[in-house]
A and B are shown apart, each in its own frame.
Chain A
Amino acid sequence: MTLDRAIDAMPAATPLRLRLEGWGTPITLLVVWLLLIAATGLYRPDFFAHQTVLAIAFTMSITGVLAIGQGIIGISGGFIDLSQPACLILSGLVAVRLSEAGLPLAVVFAGAIIVGMAWGALNAAIVVAAKLNPVIVTLATNFIGLAALYLVFQLEQVPNDSEIYHMGRARFLGLPVIWWPMLVLIVIVGYLVHYTRFGRRMTAVGGNRFAAKARGISLKTTRFATFMAAGGFVGFAAVLFASAAGPFNPSSAITLQLSVIAAVILAGISLAGGRGSFWMLLLSVGFLSTIPTSLVFFGLSSDNQSIFQGTLLMIAVAIDGYRARRGSP
């Protein structure tokens, strides 16, 4: 083969910009996260310690699972589920009651997940039947749910000697036990969304509901399925929450909402639907969970995290809007 022929046979050089298409967000997020870790470590070398890893991993656990639920709603075109706090507390209350009854952990999980799914079905039923905006519906169900929960209980906690209590404090391979389900679920859901028929349908409905309908996809069925699945993940997160949080009241989960939404947007899961990778949640949740810990190492109060998270949220929403206008993934 002559040199000319060999050159002709070679594939055309791909421009760098094209090769990085789709990887821009994860690389940027990873770099920013690593920079944050490096900067904190340089300022305080004891940041690189097992205690820090544990603190960040615990924070990631519940936020991560909630972000899966929020991501499912987002990617399927439901925008945001604002009723996650009420659903989490309701399912958490069920988890407490079941653990107080001495039932095994599997039953506690099953009960909380079923309640979460029922909550999702309720949201979906209102959205579908009344043809209302999901944001308005979930905002309303959150208010109603929390108000109803206020009537039912003031403070709850799992028994100190229960399986669920010990789960919230146990470790596996040096990391919190409750961190591992978050990892496994994100990996599995990331796979399911991209490589299964249902996942692709869900994404298609979020991307273009009219086109999806023309292809014979039932919008109602998909909406029910996505809301119920999202509720199921909130139910799962509720068990982790109940196991780790100690005593909680109906308002205790409200502060989680902002972190969860920020994590979904930073992960590049479009709230307008149709695109995003759930695997990216590992990066975004990890990054957002590192910020408050870093702040404390820098000598700042961790309650300053809301300033950083709010700023990041604005930047992420702006990037999301820019990407949507460009039509890039």
Chain B
Amino acid sequence: MRKLMPTIAVMALSVPALLGLSGIAQAQDKFKLGMAVGGNTCCEWMKAQGDVARALAEKAGWDYVELSNNNDPAIALKNAQIFVQEGVDAVIQFNGQPSANAAISAVLGAAKIPVVTYDIADPGMYFVGIDNLAAGIAGGEQLGLIMKEKWDCNPDLVISSEGAGAGIVNEWRTGGMRTGVKNICPGIPDEKYISFEGSGDAAVALPAARDLLAANPNAVKMAVVGINDGGMLGLINAAEQLGRADEVIGWGQDGAFITGDNVNPHLAGSVFYFLEGYAVYAIRDVIGPIAEGKDVPLKADPGDPASKVQPCPVSAEQAKAVPDMPERVVALLAAPAGTTEYDLFCPNK
């Protein structure tokens, strides 16, 4: 009996240990997705990108780890190292500070972890995103049509609210909008195209916009474009303060301020990207097949992306039919797998 007791004890202790080991093995089998959200406080959609990715990962039965890049390249790189330590199987990131992308790519590439990057391309990452240039052109053409109808393509100024910090994305969007305007109204002379730095933030753009308007006192027909709705709204607010709001027509990008019950009446339209729902594209076209063990070829070029997000230009009138972001997220998560917000909400498909 004395000899039997240790054997029984060892067997008894082995049961939980074996259960634990099998749990670990099961957890190791489970696909684990890492998500690095942008972490820039400018925009609600950055947080929502994480919320949608989490919900879709849970639906797929995956483990999910979310970190914030805090809009800081050093933190974004550190997050990549944490993902390696966490043993994730794939990473999605939105990194508004692309200077760290090469290093992030190297860290995750060395660990053989595939990475999806939203909107900002890197040669080592699957590109999922909007064609920013196409989105810019689409918005610019819509604004051009309004200018043609209202001013016979003869504005006094076409003003760009730039966000230089966004680098090439800024050039694609605001440059694309100017190109779009030129497509409809080719006769506008170059000197009528002016720009100012608005940082993509209405409050920050406001003083510079006021100064620009003051320095152009005779301009009474002004079209304004911007890297996003916020930067463009800075000029509209400035025009309201200087008593010149009726002289301005604005067309933005990203659709952040064109839905809801607090839309500025001088905002003529915007281009929806439905940024919060990018995870649908990433998971449908890249992460999902990888989780199933399929070989997904690396497509890192925005011109030939792993998954292309459709831009959706809408007038202010059309935008009234598009629900606010929280409602859109609810509807998106309730829709069949792979359905995008473009499918659900874009009135100009």
Which positions 195-250 of chain B face chain A at CB distance < 8 Å?
Answer: 196-197, 201-204, 206-208, 210-215, 217-218, 230, 233-234, 236-237, 240-243
A166 to B40, CA, bound (A): 30
Q: Is B148 an interface residue (CB 8 A)?
A: no
Q: How far is the CB of A23 from chain B (nearest CB, A)?
A: 31
Which positions 4-60 of chain A face chain B at CB distance < 8 Å?
Answer: 44, 46, 49, 51-52, 54-55, 58-59
Given contacts A297-B215, A301-B196, contact A154 B47 (CB under 8 A): yes
Are B207's CB and A54's CB within 8 A?
A: no
Are B214's CB and A296's CB within 8 A?
A: yes
- A sample of 12 more A-B contacts (CB under 8 A), given A155-B44, A155-B230, A169-B241, is A49-B217, A58-B207, A244-B237, A245-B206, A245-B237, A246-B202, A246-B236, A248-B202, A249-B203, A251-B42, A296-B208, A301-B196
Q: Is B118 an interface residue (CB 8 A)?
A: no
Given contacts A51-B217, A150-B41, A168-B241, contact A249 B211 (CB under 8 A): no
Are B41's CB and A246's CB within 8 A?
A: no
Which positions 57-81 of chain A face chain B at CB distance < 8 Å?
Answer: 58-59
Q: In the complex, which of the residues A44, A49, A169 has the most CB atoms of chain B within 10 Å of its own CB atom? A: A169
Q: Which residues in A have their C-beta under 8 angstroms from that of B236?
A: 246
Quick one: closest B residue to A294, CB to CB?
B211
Q: Is A292 an interface residue (CB 8 A)?
A: yes
Q: Which residues in B have their C-beta under 8 angstroms from that of A248?
A: 201-203
Which positions 290-329 of chain A face chain B at CB distance < 8 Å?
Answer: 292-293, 295-297, 301-303
Are B215's CB and A249's CB within 8 A?
A: no
- Per-residue contact bits, chain A 147-164, to B (CB 8 Å; 1 contact, 0 not): 000100011010110000
Are B203's CB and A292's CB within 8 A?
A: no
Main secondary structure of the interface of B (DSSP, over half): helix
Q: Is B106 an interface residue (CB 8 A)?
A: no
Are A292's CB and B241's CB within 8 A?
A: no
Mind listing 12 A-B residue pairs with CB under 8 Å?
Answer: A54-B241, A55-B210, A59-B210, A154-B44, A155-B44, A168-B241, A176-B241, A247-B230, A248-B201, A253-B203, A296-B214, A301-B196
Are B202's CB and A245's CB within 8 A?
A: yes
A11 to B112, CA, bound (A): 91
Are B211's CB and A155's CB within 8 A?
A: no
Identify A249's interface contact among B41, B237, B263, CB under 8 A.
Answer: B41
Q: Is B257 an interface residue (CB 8 A)?
A: yes
Q: Is B262 an interface residue (CB 8 A)?
A: yes
Q: Chain B residues in contact with chain A, CB under 8 A?
A: 41-44, 46-47, 196-197, 201-204, 206-208, 210-215, 217-218, 230, 233-234, 236-237, 240-243, 256-257, 262-265
Are B203's CB and A252's CB within 8 A?
A: yes
Q: Is A196 an interface residue (CB 8 A)?
A: no
Given contacts A169-B241, A302-B196, contact A249 B214 (CB under 8 A): no
Q: Which residues in B have their C-beta under 8 angstroms from that of A295?
A: 211
Given contacts A54-B241, A159-B262, A251-B201, contact A302 B212 (CB under 8 A): yes
Q: How far is the CB of B23 from chain A (nearest CB, A)?
A: 33
Quick one: closest B residue to A149, CB to CB?
B41
Are A52's CB and B208's CB within 8 A?
A: no
Are B210's CB and A250's CB within 8 A?
A: no
Quick one: closest B residue to A299, CB to CB?
B215
* Number of A-B residue pairs with CB-CB distance less than 8 Å in the complex they form: 111
Given contacts A155-B42, A246-B234, A249-B201, contact A54 B242 (CB under 8 A): yes
Q: Which residues in A have their C-beta under 8 angstroms from that of B233?
A: 246-247
Q: How far is the CB of A126 from chain B (nearest CB, A)?
A: 25
Which positions 250-293 of chain A face chain B at CB distance < 8 Å?
Answer: 250-253, 255, 292-293
Are B214's CB and A51's CB within 8 A?
A: yes
Q: Which residues in A have their C-beta under 8 angstroms from that of B202?
A: 157, 245-248
Quick one: closest B residue to A63, CB to CB?
B207
Q: Which residues in A have their C-beta under 8 angstroms from that of B237?
A: 244-246
A248 to B263, CA, bound (A): 15
Q: In the complex, which of the residues B41, B197, B202, B243 has the most CB atoms of chain A within 10 Å of its own CB atom? A: B41
Are A54's CB and B214's CB within 8 A?
A: yes
Are B204's CB and A55's CB within 8 A?
A: no
Q: Which residues in A have their C-beta under 8 angstroms from that of B257?
A: 247
Q: Enumerate the 6 nearest inter-chain pairs by beta-carbon distance, A residue then B residue, closest first.
A: A252-B203, A245-B203, A55-B214, A246-B202, A246-B237, A296-B211
Are A293's CB and B214's CB within 8 A?
A: yes
Are A252's CB and B201's CB within 8 A?
A: yes
Q: Which residues in B have their C-beta under 8 angstroms from that of A58?
A: 207, 210, 241
A9 to B346, CA, bound (A): 92
Quick one: closest A residue to B263, CB to CB?
A160
Q: How far is the CB of B138 from chain A (nearest CB, A)?
A: 23
